[in-house]
Amino acid sequence: MTWPDSHKCPPLWEIRHEEWLGDESKTVHAYDAESAGEKYARITDGYGDYEFANGHEAEVKIRKARTDTEEPGPWETYTLSAEPSVEYFARRSGE
């Protein structure tokens, strides 16, 4: 499968989470810094510890990543957290 010529990935964002990553950073594609932080929290919780969903908050630094044509943006500080939610469903038995 190939991507259509019209496909364009969202910008790449760099995230520094010293508490868990030390001096390393992770990158994610997102449309803005806030959605990059939310995506990082979702991905991190997906590793199985669910620390954010269990009430953990973390302060991270986020900036637009360096590209071939642009220097990286300035670091901004965000606090990441989550609220677990439950969805209920009903379906007719036997279907």
Domain edges within the chain: 12-80
pTM: 0.80
Pull the structure tokens for residue 72: 């990286």
Position 84 scores a pLDDT of 82
For 8-51, how does the pLDDT look when each residue is reduced to its tens digit (9 = 90+)? 888 999 999 998 889 999 999 999 999 999 999 999 988 878 89
Question: Could you give the angle at the alpha carbon of 9 between the alpha carbons of 20 and 37, nearest 5°?
Answer: 30
Read off φ and ψ for residue 85, nearest 5 degrees: -135, 155
Position 95 scores a pLDDT of 64
